[in-house]
């Protein structure tokens, strides 16, 4: 049993005792009630678990069909990423005794769905999804902006990870903008990703780490473009067509934070997940989904016009959307006015 789950029990009991102290006449009675209520709540904790998020199966359980459906129906144009993520997460969540935490590295052009996929994973493991107290999102430019504070960030991040995993072994950490992360900072979390049974008495093997970056995006685009030029179907692209491109480019790209780290040569990353650049038809799909999400009446004409006005590359062929599905939400507002 965890302290965070017990806190409300103690609070209820304590409040009643305080009330009792203010009303001297009925003190005896109130203390009796307080004791009874505390006893009741302590015994029937499931009632409390229902109201307050706890590190328990009531709040954390993997919904395999949920993730599969979400990936199929809500993520557009990412057949490779979808497959890899589903297999990786399912394998890990079904393994009662994993040898290391799950470490996923999501790569691709902006707006292709990396953030979205990490939200879908969170949603299908934690009942509160991204709102869960066990899901932690770090954005390089927001959380760790200053080079001079590196040492502070390192200590802080290590304490956070250790503290949170101690509270709940099934914690999830998402690091956005990995390419903007200072190399030293990534190095400082390396031990938690490794195969240790315990580190200072804490086991990190149930935790999930997800890294998001644009690194390798250029190479992925090249592969997709090569397929398109050769007249081959996008759906023919397989993980193996992208995997080496991604890991090599990440490793060799001096500007990306990965360069100085041994995440890769120590095989700490379990899966590299490549996100393909999105085409016009995917932007339309995103647009329709966004309309539905906004509760608007679906109108293909509007979405089509919105999608046409976006920028595509290469300039002449206009194959891939420059910003993927990123700006669609605000764009739609403009077109539906």
Ligand X SMILES: *[C@@H]1O[C@H](CO)[C@@H](O)[C@H](O)[C@H]1NC(C)=O
The helix (H) or strand (E) run that includes residue 292 is helix 280-293
Asked if residue 202 binds ligand X (CB under 6 A), the reply is no
Grouping H, G, I as helix, E, B as strand and the rest as coil, residue 144 is: coil
Based on CB atoms, which residue is closest to ligand X, 69 or 333? 69
For residue 38, the tally of other CB atoms under 10 A from its CB is: 18
Omega within 30 of 0 (cis) for the link into 314: yes
Asked if residue 302 binds ligand X (CB under 6 A), the reply is yes
Could you tell me how many residues make up the chain?
337
Asked if residue 48 binds ligand X (CB under 6 A), the reply is no
Rounded Cα–Cα distance for residues 210 and 74 (Å): 20
Asked if residue 164 binds ligand X (CB under 6 A), the reply is yes
Rounded Cα–Cα distance for residues 113 and 279 (Å): 13
Taking Cα atoms as reference points, which of 254, 325, 245 lies closest to residue 293?
Answer: 325
Based on CB atoms, which residue is closest to ligand X, 83 or 299? 299
Cβ–Cβ under 8 Å, residues 172 and 207 = yes
Rounded Cα–Cα distance for residues 84 and 238 (Å): 10
Q: Whole-number minimum distance, CB 57 to ligand X, in Å?
A: 11
Asked if residue 69 binds ligand X (CB under 6 A), the reply is yes
Asked if residue 90 binds ligand X (CB under 6 A), the reply is no
User: Which of 163, 190, 199, 334 is close enough to bind ligand X by CB under 6 A?
Assistant: 163
Rounded Cα–Cα distance for residues 112 and 285 (Å): 13
Q: Whole-number minimum distance, CB 30 to ligand X, in Å?
A: 34
Burial (Cβ within 10 Å: 0-12, 13-18, ≥19) of residue 193? buried
Asked if residue 299 binds ligand X (CB under 6 A), the reply is yes
Rounded Cα–Cα distance for residues 59 and 15 (Å): 27
Based on CB atoms, which residue is closest to ligand X, 226 or 309? 309
Based on CB atoms, which residue is closest to ligand X, 174 or 246? 174
Based on CB atoms, which residue is closest to ligand X, 20 or 193? 193
Asked if residue 167 binds ligand X (CB under 6 A), the reply is yes
Q: Whole-number minimum distance, CB 119 to ligand X, in Å?
A: 14
User: Which of 301, 315, 316, 330 is close enough to bind ligand X by CB under 6 A?
Assistant: 301
Residue with tokens 């991040």: 157
Cβ–Cβ under 8 Å, residues 324 and 277 = yes
Residue nearest to ligand X (CB): 163
Asked if residue 322 binds ligand X (CB under 6 A), the reply is no
User: Which of 39, 57, 66, 145 is close enough to bind ligand X by CB under 6 A?
Assistant: 66
Q: Which of residues 114-143 bind ligand X (CB under 6 A)?
A: 136
Asked if residue 57 binds ligand X (CB under 6 A), the reply is no
Based on CB atoms, which residue is closest to ligand X, 224 or 284? 284
Rounded Cα–Cα distance for residues 66 and 59 (Å): 15
Q: Whole-number minimum distance, CB 63 to ligand X, in Å?
A: 4
Contact positions toward ligand X, by CB under 6 A?
A: 63, 65-66, 69, 136, 159-160, 163-164, 167, 299, 301-302
């Amino acid at each position: 049993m965890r302290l965070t789950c017990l806190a409300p029990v103690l609070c209820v009991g304590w409040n009643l005792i305080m009330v009792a102290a203010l009303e001297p006449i009925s003190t005896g009675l109130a203390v009796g009630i307080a004791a009874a209520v505390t006893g009741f709540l302590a015994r029937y904790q499931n009632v409390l678990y229902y109201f307050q998020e706890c590190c328990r199966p009531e709040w954390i359980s993997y919904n395999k069909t949920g993730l599969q459906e979400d990936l199929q129906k809500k993520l557009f144009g990412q057949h490779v990423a979808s497959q890899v993520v589903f297999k990786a997460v399912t394998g890990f969540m079904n393994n009662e005794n994993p040898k290391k935490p799950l470490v996923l590295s999501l790569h691709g052009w902006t707006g292709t769905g990396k953030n979205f996929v990490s939200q879908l994973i969170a949603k299908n493991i934690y009942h509160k999804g991204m709102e869960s107290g066990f899901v932690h999102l770090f954005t390089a430019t927001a959380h760790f902006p200053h080079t001079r504070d590196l040492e502070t960030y390192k200590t802080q991040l290590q304490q956070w990870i250790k503290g949170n995993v101690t509270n709940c072994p099934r914690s999830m950490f998402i690091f956005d903008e990995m390419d903007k992360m200072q190399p030293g900072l990534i190095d400082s979390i390396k031990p938690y990703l490794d195969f240790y049974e315990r580190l200072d008495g804490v086991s990190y093997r149930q935790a999930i780490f997800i890294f998001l970056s644009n690194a390798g995006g250029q190479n992925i685009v090249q592969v997709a473009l090569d397929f398109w030029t050769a007249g081959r179907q996008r759906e023919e692209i397989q993980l193996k067509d992208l995997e080496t491109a991604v890991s090599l480019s990440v490793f060799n790209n001096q500007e990306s934070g990965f360069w100085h780290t041994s995440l890769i040569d120590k095989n700490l990353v379990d899966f590299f997940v490549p996100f393909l650049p999105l085409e016009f038809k995917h932007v339309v799909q995103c647009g329709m989904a966004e309309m539905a999400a906004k509760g608007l009446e679906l109108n293909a004409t509007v979405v089509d016009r919105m999608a046409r006005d976006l920028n595509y590359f290469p300039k002449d062929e206009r194959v891939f959307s420059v910003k993927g599905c990123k700006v669609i939400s605000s764009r739609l507002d403009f077109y539906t006015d």
